[in-house]
């Protein structure tokens, strides 16, 4: 930097970022770097031009991956990989190498990763292969499987900066509880993935690691806050990832990137010792950790394995509730499935409405009983409003992380602090100005409890097995325009388990008319053409096994319809 002019000199926070990014790049083998010729087929800058990365089949065209490595990452479900690893058909070393390579390619195209530790992952994979050879059995139910982690999970000796410059170069002193359990179950950990600054927006963009791009269309958001996982898994750079969800942070990237995601009830999968932007004791709405993958069966596989390990013995925030093995649903069984109907104040975009209608048609054809639930009974808008109030009770901590380094606020975070948002909160708290924090929390809890009671009555009144609805009013949208997520966050307030099932695509041919939704944005058929669409399935609190069982049934019906 000696020859750099004064106007070009880096600020202290920029120097920290430049050094950090340089250090991480040195951890990537030079033979995993994409050849210059491949970039000529892309329109730069990527985030400003609609590059359809997945369609371009860059891992195959790059020549960086062998035919066998391409097969490992593309042709097998997570369950099939685990079976092959347990039998020794694949070694963990070759599977881990394949996914490390593909993750490195994904990073160059989508900026989906933060920390990488390929060398230690390959060393562990070799040790697991040796274990299988010497013991004649796998080391655990996740033996030899590479698993990616959201950046908020701590690994001893590795940063969990969660997009804050002030947390760079502050390695964790011990692992997150879930990390220890995954290792005990036989997993190989190899990368951590990108998130938004503050982890409280749906755009995985920060000043440390940049902006994660959606591999289906690089002008669209990959979602957040677990957006790096969404992009990586969609690119097939990970067979199974772990995210967290307090407002939709697993489900939003899943629906944006066209993958499967599961938010369990809180306290089923351990959340202990994470790097968070808010104090640990702030728990009016509880966060969940959960799986993301390219197949539905992987969601249950991970959830069952972790819960069966009795995580409550290691994490006091976990409930010691065993995994419940359910009797299989018979082909003749008819379920009562609630369907959230449209709220004019939270109108569905045309592709979302079409996919929900198609889902209902397919379920009805199979004989399932569909029960419409209107907005006056679902209270989605009211629950979302309560969540916004809860999240803004005390946000000084996360902005202190930003201020302490001098880094700027990124656009999606700035949008959260826009005057319109402030006015909405002022309106909500009208009449409560004189309340102290204790009474504000008590007031919120009382209102949340009232709506939980309304939902309790709904489950009983219609004897519901599950409920379906969109995961969002829209598909993935342009960067920094996602906004507040009512159709995911209302389930966090209720603390219900919920899964995202990808189904269909947005289509400028099927839904050709543009439409303005006011404060909720606008539908542009050209911009979102071929973006993934999805369905959300949920059950009541602690019925996680039922949610996964019904979700699997619905996924099979929807997938069969697509041939």
Please name which of 287, 291, 268, 264 lies closest in space to residue 277, comparing C-alpha atoms.
Answer: 287
Q: Tell me how far apart the alpha carbons of residues 461 and 464 are, in angstroms, rounded to a whole number.
A: 8
Give the per-residue SS3 of 121-178: HHHHHHHHHHHHHHHCCCCCCCCCCEEEEECCECCECCCCCCCCHHHCCCCECCCCHH
Where on the phi/psi map is residue 542: left (φ > 0), alpha (ψ -120 to 50), or beta? left
* 278, 398 Cβ separation under 8 angstroms: yes
Active-site residue identified among 101, 150, 154, 192? 150
Element spanning 504, H or E: strand 498-505
Residue numbering of the annotated binding site for substrate = 199, 225, 246-249
Helices 544-561, 296-308: inter-axial angle, 10-degree rounding: 160
* 395, 422 Cβ separation under 8 angstroms: no
Other beta carbons within 10 angstroms of residue 181's beta carbon come to 24
Residue 416 exposure: Cα atoms within 13 Å on the Cβ side? 21
Give the angle subtended at the CA of 177 by the CAs of 172 and 179, to the nearest 5°.
75
Q: Tell me how far apart the alpha carbons of residues 20 and 228 are, in angstroms, rounded to a whole number.
A: 18
Residue numbering of the annotated binding site = 199, 225, 246-249
Cis link prior to 377 (omega < 30° from 0)? no
Which structure tokens are listed for 267?
Answer: 């306290």
515-516 vs 336-340, strand pairing mode:
unpaired
What is the C-alpha end-to-end distance of the chain, expressed in Å? 57
Residue 14 exposure: Cα atoms within 13 Å on the Cβ side? 6
Active-site residue identified among 139, 152, 225, 412? 225
Element spanning 339, H or E: strand 336-340
Please name which of 219, 248, 251, 216 lies closest in space to residue 231, comparing C-alpha atoms.
Answer: 216
522-523 vs 498-505, strand pairing mode:
unpaired
Other beta carbons within 10 angstroms of residue 399's beta carbon come to 14
Where on the phi/psi map is residue 235: left (φ > 0), alpha (ψ -120 to 50), or beta? alpha
Active-site residue identified among 91, 176, 249, 266? 249
Element spanning 469, H or E: strand 466-469
Please name which of 252, 240, 260 lies closest in space to residue 306, comparing C-alpha atoms.
Answer: 240
Q: Tell me how far apart the alpha carbons of residues 155 and 503 are, in angstroms, rounded to a whole number.
A: 35
Q: How far is CA 481 from CA 110, 311, 383, 485, in A?
A: 18, 38, 21, 11
Active site residue 225: yes
- Size (the chain), residues: 563
Active site residue 478: no
Active site residue 150: yes
Q: Which positions are annotated as active-site residues?
A: 150, 225, 249
């Amino acid at each position: 930097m000696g020859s750099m002019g004064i106007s070009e000199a880096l600020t202290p926070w920029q120097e920290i970022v430049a050094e950090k990014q340089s250090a991480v790049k040195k951890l990537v083998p030079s033979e995993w770097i994409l050849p210059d010729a491949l970039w000529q087929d892309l329109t730069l800058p990527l985030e400003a031009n609609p590059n359809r990365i997945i369609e371009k089949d860059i891992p195959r065209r790059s020549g960086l991956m062998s035919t066998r490595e391409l097969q490992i990452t593309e042709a097998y479900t997570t369950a099939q990989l685990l079976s092959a690893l347990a039998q020794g058909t694949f070694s963990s070393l070759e599977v881990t190498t394949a996914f490390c390579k593909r993750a490195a390619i994904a990073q160059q195209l989508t900026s989906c990763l933060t920390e990488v530790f390929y060398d230690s992952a390959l060393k562990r994979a070799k040790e697991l292969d040796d274990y299988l050879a010497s013991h004649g059995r796998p080391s655990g139910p996740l033996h030899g499987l590479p698993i990616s982690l959201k950046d908020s999970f701590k690994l001893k000796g590795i940063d969990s900066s969660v997009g804050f410059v002030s947390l760079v170069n502050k390695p964790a002193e011990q692992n997150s509880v879930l990390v220890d359990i995954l290792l005990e179950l036989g997993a190989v950990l190899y990368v951590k993935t990108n998130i938004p600054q503050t982890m409280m927006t749906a755009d995985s963009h920060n000043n440390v690691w940049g902006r994660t791009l959606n591999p289906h269309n690089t002008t669209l958001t990959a979602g957040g806050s677990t957006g790096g996982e969404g992009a990586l898994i969609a690119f097939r750079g990970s067979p199974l990832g772990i995210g967290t969800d307090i407002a939709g942070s697993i489900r939003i990237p899943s629906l944006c990137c066209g993958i499967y995601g599961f938010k369990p009830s809180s306290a089923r999968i351990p959340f202990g010792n994470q790097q968070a932007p808010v104090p640990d004791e702030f728990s009016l709405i509880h966060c969940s950790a959960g799986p993301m993958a390219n197949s539905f069966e992987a969601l249950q596989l991970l959830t069952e394995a972790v819960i069966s390990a009795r995580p409550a013995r290691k994490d006091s925030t976990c409930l010691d509730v065993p995994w419940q093995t359910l009797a299989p649903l018979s082909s003749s069984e008819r379920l009562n499935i609630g369907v959230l109907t449209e709220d004019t104040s939270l109108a569905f975009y045309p592709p979302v409405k079409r996919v929900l209608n198609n889902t209902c048609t397919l379920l009805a054809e199979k004989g399932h009983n569909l029960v419409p639930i209107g907005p006056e009974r679902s209270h989605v808008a009211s629950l979302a409003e309560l969540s916004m109030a809860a999240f803004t009770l005390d946000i000084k901590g996360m902005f202190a992380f930003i201020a302490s380094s001098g880094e700027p606020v990124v656009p999606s975070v700035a949008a959260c602090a826009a005057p319109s948002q402030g006015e909405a909160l002022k309106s909500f708290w009208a009449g409560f100005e004189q309340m102290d924090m204790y009474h504000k929390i008590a007031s919120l809890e009382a209102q949340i409890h009232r709506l939980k009671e309304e939902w309790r009555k709904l489950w009983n009144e219609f004897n519901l097995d599950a409920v379906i609805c969109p995961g969002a009013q829209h598909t993935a949208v342009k960067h920094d325009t996602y906004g507040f997520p009512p159709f995911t966050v209302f389930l966090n307030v209720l603390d219900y388990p919920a899964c995202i099932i990808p189904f269909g695509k947005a289509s400028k041919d099927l839904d050709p008319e543009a439409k303005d939704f006011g404060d909720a944005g606008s539908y542009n058929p050209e911009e979102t053409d071929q973006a993934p669409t999805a369905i959300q399935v949920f059950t009541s609190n602690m019925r996680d096994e039922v949610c996964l069982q019904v979700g699997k049934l619905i996924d099979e019906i929807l997938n069969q319809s697509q041939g």
